[in-house]
Chain A
Amino acid sequence: MESGKEIIPLSYSEVFEKHCPYYMAIGMSYDDFWNGDCSLVRVYRQKAKLELSMQNRLLWMQGRYIYDAVGALTPVLHAFAKQGAKPHKYIEKPYPITEEELKAEEERRIAEQRKQFRESMIRLAEESAKKFKKGGDRP
C-alpha cells in the first residue's frame, strides 16, 4: 500500500446511500430506490440517457432556429446595410421531425419540384413556339 493506509471497501449500505441522491435526481422516488424492485434503477438510468439525448436534440434544434433567425436578419444586421433593406423571411414553419412530418415534407418537396419542372417545360415550349412563329413570319 502506497500510503500505508488500509483501504476499507464500502459496505452495500454505504454504496446505496452514496447513489441514492443521483437516482432521486433522475426522477426515482426515495421509496422506489430503497423499497421497490431493485432492478428499477436500470430503467431509470435508461430513462436518464434518453432524456439527455432528447434534450441535446432540442438544444441543437434551438441553435438551428437561432441560426436561421440571425441569417434572416443579415441584410439589416450590419453597419453598412443599405437604406430600405429588408430582412429575409424567417422559415414559415417548424422543421419536420416526426416520421409523418418528414414524409409529408418529402412529398411536398417532390410535388414542388414537379410543378417547377412542368412550368419550366411550358415556358420552354412557349418560347420555342414564339421563336418558331418569328421564324415563320420571315419572308
Chain B
Amino acid sequence: MAKVIEFTYKDKDYTLEFTRKTVERLEKEGFSLSDLGTKPMTAIPLFFRGAFYANHRFEKQEVIDEIFKKLPDKDELVQQLGVIYSQPFSDLFDEPEEDEGNVSWKVGKK
C-alpha cells in the first residue's frame, strides 16, 4: 500500500497522497525536492498543495492554506511528505519490505 498522511479537519477526512500523475503535475508546476532546502517559502506551500491533488483536487486554496497553518510539527510533516512524494519513484526499484504504515496527523488549533 502507498503511504499516506491522514487527518480530519472541520469534520472532513483528508488523505494526502502522491500518485505518479500528481508528482508529474507538481514537477510541471516547477516543483523539485531540492527546492525545499533552497526555496522553502515557495516550495513548501506548493508541495503541500500537491499532496491534495490525488484525493482532494478540488479543495480550495484558502482551505489548504488554513490547514497548513494549523498543522503542528511542520518540519516532521514536510519530511513525511518527502517520504510519500518519493514513494511513486522508489517503488519502481525497491523490493517489498516491511510496511511501516501510514502517518496520522492531528490538526492543531492556533
Dominant secondary structure of chain B at its interface with chain A: loop
Contacts of A39 in B (CB 8 A): 1-2, 87, 91
Contact, CB under 8 Å: B27 / A36:
no
Contacts of B32 in A (CB 8 A): 11
B65 sits at the interface (CB 8 A)? no
B101 sits at the interface (CB 8 A)? no
Contacts of B94 in A (CB 8 A): 42
With A15-B92, A19-B92, A33-B20 already in contact, the answer to whether A38 and B27 are too (CB < 8 A) is: no
Interface size range of chain B in the complex:
20 to 34
Contacts of A67 in B (CB 8 A): none
Interface size range of chain A in the complex:
10 to 19
Contacts of B18 in A (CB 8 A): 38
B96 sits at the interface (CB 8 A)? yes
A60 sits at the interface (CB 8 A)? no
Contact, CB under 8 Å: A16 / B2:
no
With A12-B23, A16-B20, A16-B23 already in contact, the answer to whether A38 and B88 are too (CB < 8 A) is: yes
Kindly supply a per-residue 1/0 record for chain A positions 7-42, scoring 1 wherever the CB is within 8 Å of any chain B CB and 0 otherwise: 000011101100100000000000001111111011
Contact, CB under 8 Å: A38 / B24:
no
Contacts of A36 in B (CB 8 A): 19
Q: Which residues of B contact A (CB under 8 A)?
A: 1-2, 18-21, 23-24, 27-28, 32, 54, 87-89, 91-92, 94-96
User: Which 3 A-B residue pairs are closest in the complex by CB-CB distance?
Assistant: A38-B88, A34-B21, A13-B24
